[in-house]
Structure 1
Amino acid sequence: MPAPTIERPLRVGYVPLTDAAPLLLADALGLFARHGVPVVLSAEAGWAALRDKLAFGALHAAHLLGPLAIALAAGAGGLRRRLTITTGLARNGNTIVLSPALAAAIGPFAPPLDPRRFAEALHARAEEGLPPPTLAVVFPFSSHNYLLRHWLAAGGLDPDHDVRLVVVPPPRVARALTEGAIEGFCAGEPWGSQAVVTGAGRFVLATGDIWRDHPEKVLAFGESIAERDEEAVLSVTAAVIEAAAWLEDPANRPSAARILQERAFSELPLSTITAALEGRVAAAPGFSPQPIAAPMRFLAASRPRREEAAAWFSAMRRWGHAAAADAEALAPWRPDLWDRAAARFSPRPVTGRASPSPLLQMPLESDA
């Protein structure tokens, strides 16, 4: 007897970020409908709310942090759920921004900032009797946390003692920096650009400067949905892949920016959103946008790769956020389902890989 299908339409959650673009564009361009599956998108305030809704069935699928998918699969953080990841949504796309005061304490520099320069500034600050700076990441199980930690450690800092790491949802980081609640953050665009445009922060580097073309968010389906309605899963995946291909065409980016502004970033200037799609960090009035060496990429992120997810799992183990081994940790990654969805295209989409991950290198002395 065939498994029962899930109720329609499918509810798909996302956090307002530029790398949610393949989902938002698949909806705006009518691609979900064209592939025969009704979808309702749900904007969520942050990753904790989205995780809980996905884990307990209020959402069928979601735009999700790759390390968070690993955490759920492995039961890290006390919650274990089986997910199915059929496609990646983006590579790169995060920025590290510091308050003007903290940036000034470093002295003159041009992005990307050398971590040793940052470490020198923090050591000088400590010698003056000042407390460690408070830096925000968007979630404990996130690329932002692990890439920022890697960068700090590369400068000789201990991320658990030499800085104070806190969690702030992406849409709130620029405001938290403005209000002085934090002195810097690592978050997805366009929120770094927004902090720079308003004068609240200074761009110091992109996460693509730490790991070039690193995988970012994924499309994750809730527990057992791939078994209960595989056709719906394949149809949603195919629509998202098609949207990613559409986004890769530079001629489409002005339209994409307008759609993103309308659907996710109504409070932001169009130029800020456009800059993020074009691989630049928006600038304060009177200055030119800062190009990023490793810009956000969509189609190149599409095929989910377990070997790249393994780099996140390695970082989670390094920092004590996951058990040393867990057979289920990488089980959600399903490139076979991507292959089946992508086979509906002619010619078949071509996707890329990240450079070798630095997260698999440079263990702490305690790990040796």
Structure 2
Amino acid sequence: MNHPTLSTSRPFRIGFVPLTDAAPLIVADALGLFARHGVMVTLSPEAGWAALRDKLAFGSLDAAQLLGPLAIALAVGAGGLRRRLTVTAGLARNGNTVVLSPALAAAIGGADMPLDAHRLAEAIHARTEEGLPPPTLAVVFPFSSHNYLLRHWLAAGGLDPDHDVRLVVVPPPRVARALADGAIEGFCAGEPWGSHAVANGAGRFALATGDIWPDHPEKVLAFGEGIAAREEDAVIAITAAVIEAALWLDDPANLPAAARLLQDRAFPELPLSTISAALEGRVAAAPGQASRSLAAPMRFATATCPQRAEAAAWLAAMRRWGHAAADEAEALAPWRSDLWERAAARVSPRPAMGRAIPSPLLSLPLESDA
């Protein structure tokens, strides 16, 4: 399908953090899909979410791969910075892993995977009785799916995430090194960094976030404040290219090529096998072991329509943990499925809108939280 060049000739600068779920942006660029839809795009790799947020908020980036809860936080001013972004697409479902240090995994003992949080709670209570401090676990950003899904899982095991563990923030590309160095005892981060830690022997796989909320939404495509109103046609064209890339990624025949593209453009330091595992819905193998298939593998095409009902689950979690008390209409205003529909109309075959996936995060607080 050919698309005319848009009236704007300026390039759009789109940021991403090196993660497997940046694949729709990387593929759209590498395969020339942005150009085919009539827009010029420059991708900008960023070291972590704080830098990406600031660049998007202050105009150094026009758009970005973004944490869903972070779009909510910016909409309501949580964290001290307020911006009304526009979310036109989701980038992936699932795709994060929880990895523990070998020492913490050994303290838990033999356990079936995915790990039951009650087993972790038993190990933590045992070390508390010995007078040892709580374990330090990392998430990639305070306003992140990783933080809220990890908190939900810990609470389900009877743990208080604000007292029974020490939660810290470590950028995704640094979590495996932080675990190997002993700075943290576990983390929840996007792939391929969990697989990288497991393959290097620095960590032990515990569970995937898809085990907590199967097929949960992950990152979104978000445009800076005011850009969708000023340059709507370009925003729709960029979104259409991302939708096409997601459809391409969900064809198993394209995964070897996708892994090579990601290695070349995002993870030159990682072996191809580690990147391929994440795309194929597996966790890379620990030394001497076979890789593990995930019950809820990463998916791309079914994620593209930005579902406000799913975003409401992140808002519920933010309220549960005292991170936001905002009005729902204000908090979820960035989600624009209408712009997705106009973008999807430019893609052949046109993708289905799909449905929102029910979330356990919308359940009432657990007794352990009272």
TM range (shorter): over 0.9
Deviation (angstroms), 1:323: 1.3
Q: How does 1:242-281 map to 2 (within 5 A)?
A: 242-281=244-283
Distance across 2 between alignment mates of 1:141 and 1:196? 25
Matched, 1:94 2:96: yes
Distance across 2 between alignment mates of 1:324 and 1:87? 23
Distance across 2 between alignment mates of 1:199 and 1:190? 14
Deviation (angstroms), 1:256: 0.2
Letter in 2 for 1:213: D
The partner residue of 1:213 within 203, 212, 215 is: 215
Letter in 2 for 1:164: R
The partner residue of 1:136 within 129, 132, 138 is: 138
Decide whether the 8 Å contact of 1:138 with 1:186 is kept in 2.
yes
Give the aligned CA root-mean-square deviation in angstroms: 1.3
Decide whether the 8 Å contact of 2:309 with 2:356 is kept in 1.
no
| Percentage identity across paired residues of the two chains | 80
Decide whether the 8 Å contact of 1:14 with 1:20 is kept in 2.
yes
Deviation (angstroms), 1:328: 1.3
1:64 is matched with which residue? Answer: 66
The two structures have a TM-score, normalised by structure 1, of: 0.97
Cα gap change, 1:240 to 1:324, in 2 (>3 Å): closer
The two structures have a TM-score, normalised by structure 2, of: 0.96
1:155 is matched with which residue? Answer: 157
Decide whether the 8 Å contact of 1:212 with 1:354 is kept in 2.
no
Letter in 2 for 1:143: S
Decide whether the 8 Å contact of 1:301 with 1:351 is kept in 2.
no
Q: How does 1:1-368 map to 2 (within 5 A)?
A: 8-353=10-355, 355-365=357-367
Deviation (angstroms), 1:344: 1.1
Distance across 2 between alignment mates of 1:146 and 1:298? 21
Deviation (angstroms), 1:356: 1.7
SS at match of 1:62: strand
Deviation (angstroms), 1:348: 1.3
SS at match of 2:194: helix
Deviates more, 1:321-330 or 1:137-146: 321-330
Letter in 1 for 2:63: A
Distance across 2 between alignment mates of 1:234 and 1:187? 30
Deviation (angstroms), 1:324: 4.8
Deviation (angstroms), 1:296: 0.3
Letter in 2 for 1:230: E
Decide whether the 8 Å contact of 1:197 with 1:284 is kept in 2.
yes
Decide whether the 8 Å contact of 2:201 with 2:287 is kept in 1.
no
Distance across 2 between alignment mates of 1:265 and 1:366? 40
SS at match of 1:327: helix
Decide whether the 8 Å contact of 1:6 with 1:228 is kept in 2.
no
Distance across 2 between alignment mates of 1:287 and 1:333? 42
Cα gap change, 1:354 to 1:184, in 2 (>3 Å): farther
Distance across 1 between alignment mates of 2:328 and 2:37? 36
Deviation (angstroms), 1:314: 0.3
Decide whether the 8 Å contact of 1:69 with 1:83 is kept in 2.
yes
Deviates more, 1:346-355 or 1:85-94: 346-355
Decide whether the 8 Å contact of 1:6 with 1:225 is kept in 2.
no
Distance across 1 between alignment mates of 2:231 and 2:108? 54
Distance across 2 between alignment mates of 1:57 and 1:324? 25
Deviation (angstroms), 1:96: 0.1
SS at match of 1:63: strand
Deviation (angstroms), 1:278: 0.2
Deviation (angstroms), 1:326: 4.7
5+ residue gaps, structure 2, are 1-6
SS at match of 2:89: strand
Runs of 4 or more above 3 Å deviation: 351-355, 364-368
Distance across 1 between alignment mates of 2:11 and 2:188? 34
